[in-house]
Structure 1
Amino acid sequence: MKLDPSFIWTAFVQLLGAVPTTLYITVVSVLVGFIIGTAVALIRIYKVPVLYPIAVAYVTFIRGTPMLTHLLLIYFGLPVLIDGLSAYFGWSFRSVNMPMIGFAYISFSITAGAYMSEVVRSGLLAVDRGQIEAAHSVGMTTPQALRRIVFPQALAASLPNLSNSVIGMLHGSTLAFTVSVVDINAKAEIVASTNWKFFEAYVAAALIFWGLTVLIERLTAVIEKRINLYNRGGVV
């Protein structure tokens, strides 16, 4: 096999068209996952009745099974649920109307939620509980104390791990090709299939993922610096 450096550039340019799809999957799964993870973390910290064992089971199951398995369970299981509910309630919507990327959004958000719940929970537990008691003593409610005092400090403490979660979801988004979503890796396979130069195409894909990862790391460093300044009172 002879390496064709020129095709690496050709493939690189063609793969750029698939970058938005990969970023959409990553951003949606991270944002929704963060909301889910925050809710689950609070349920576990405050041991909310009924919801607490459900939250523990959710985190244990998702963290104990592969990401691809979650995607396949959603891909094959969700249509059965949707079509069953549609038939029962007489809805016109059917699973065939759902775009393939929707399965990736749902599955990866559920996966991200479990992992981010542990990140958020560790950040919240790192904040001295005495600060909440002090907030109560000046008339703040628990939600106010969490929003104004605890969450900013917990976010600063959790930011490196949150960054790792974002990078993990970026790389995990490559699994979306199993449900016919054309992400960067799937596009690389399509591009390479025209002349069988798979190595060059995947080198181009690797360079794009590397660049995106470096960008996330740089953004994290900037955000971390801003948050630390805010927590020290340097930024209003």
Structure 2
Amino acid sequence: MKIDVVFIYTAFFEILKALPLTLVLTFIPLVIGFGIGIITALVRIYKVKYIYRVLDFYVSFLRGTPILLHILVIYWGLPLVIDRLSVYFGWGFKSSSIPSLLIVLTAFSITAGAYMSEIIRSGLLSVNRGQIEAAYAIGMTTPQALWRIIVPQAVGVILPNLCNIFVGFLHTSSLAFTVSQMELLGKASVVASVSLKFLEAYIAAAFIYWGLTLLAEKLTSFLEKKVTVYNRGGVA
């Protein structure tokens, strides 16, 4: 068996056309998930009555089940729920008009929220409790203390984990091909099916994933030096 190096080069640029969708499937769920994660983490830390137990279950269940399962359940279940509600309330709206990409993004975002919650919660809890008590002593409210004292320090702690979850969801985006979303790995499969050179196409896709991962690691390292300057006696 001989590897066609020229085809790897050709396939690389053909597969690269699917990069925008892959980035959409990675960034949008992480941004939405970060918002969900902040709310969930704060509710669980401060144990908001009744709600925190529901969110405990949400985090535990989503982190304890495969992401592919979330995609399939939401992809097939959400339209069913929407159609039932539409008939019941007489909306005249059908789930078939919802782009499948939106459903996949919903599944990824809900999952990302569960993982982000634990990352953010661990970051907030890593800051010495005495600092927030000192903030209260000088008249700060809880939101002020969180925003001006706790969050800046927590960000430095969670940055490596945020990089890890970015890389994880970058790779997880390949699962979207199971519901007909043409991301990088799906594009590689299509490119390979034309010439039956699957190994070469997958090697080309691997280089793209690897390049994005290296870029994320470099960016994280740069940001980590910036946001942890206070640890080195500097001023942020």
Distance 1:93 1:163 in 2: 39
Q: Equivalences for 1:197-212 in 2 at 5 Å?
A: 197-212=197-212
Spell out, residue by residue over 1:28-69, the C-alpha distance to the aligned partner (whole angstroms, 9 max, x if none): 011111111111111111111111111110111011100100
Sort the Cα spacing of 1:183 and 1:151 in 2 relative to 1 into closer, same or farther, 3 A.
Answer: same
Amino acid at match of 1:198: F
The corresponding residue for 1:142 is: 142
Q: Equivalences for 1:26-175 in 2 at 5 Å?
A: 26-175=26-175
Distance 1:107 1:121 in 2: 22
Distance 1:15 1:230 in 2: 43
Amino acid at match of 1:216: A
Q: TM-score, normalised by structure 1?
A: 0.96
SS in 2 for 1:226: helix
Percent of residue pairs bearing the same amino acid type:
56
Spell out, residue by residue over 1:155-194, the C-alpha distance to the aligned partner (whole angstroms, 9 max, x if none): 1111111110111011101000011100000000110111
Unaligned runs of 5+ in 2: none
CA RMSD of aligned residues (A): 1.2
Amino acid at match of 2:149: I
SS in 1 for 2:195: coil
Amino acid at match of 2:90: G
SS in 2 for 1:182: coil
Spell out, residue by residue over 1:58-109, the C-alpha distance to the aligned partner (whole angstroms, 9 max, x if none): 1110111001000001001100111112222222432111111112211111
Unaligned runs of 5+ in 1: none
Q: CA deviation at 1:3?
A: 1.2
Distance 1:223 1:173 in 2: 24
SS in 2 for 1:193: helix
Distance 1:154 1:179 in 2: 37
Distance 2:5 2:164 in 1: 31
Amino acid at match of 2:211: G
Amino acid at match of 2:144: Q
Q: TM-score, normalised by structure 2?
A: 0.96
Distance 1:148 1:90 in 2: 48
Distance 1:45 1:77 in 2: 31
Amino acid at match of 1:70: H
Decide which moves more: 219-228 or 87-96.
87-96
Distance 1:214 1:99 in 2: 32
Distance 1:113 1:4 in 2: 42
| Matched pairs, number | 235
The corresponding residue for 1:190 is: 190
Give the ranges of 4+ consecutive aligned residues of structure 1 lying more than 6 Å apart after TM superposition. none
Distance 1:211 1:92 in 2: 46
Decide which moves more: 93-102 or 201-210.
93-102
Distance 1:3 1:41 in 2: 49
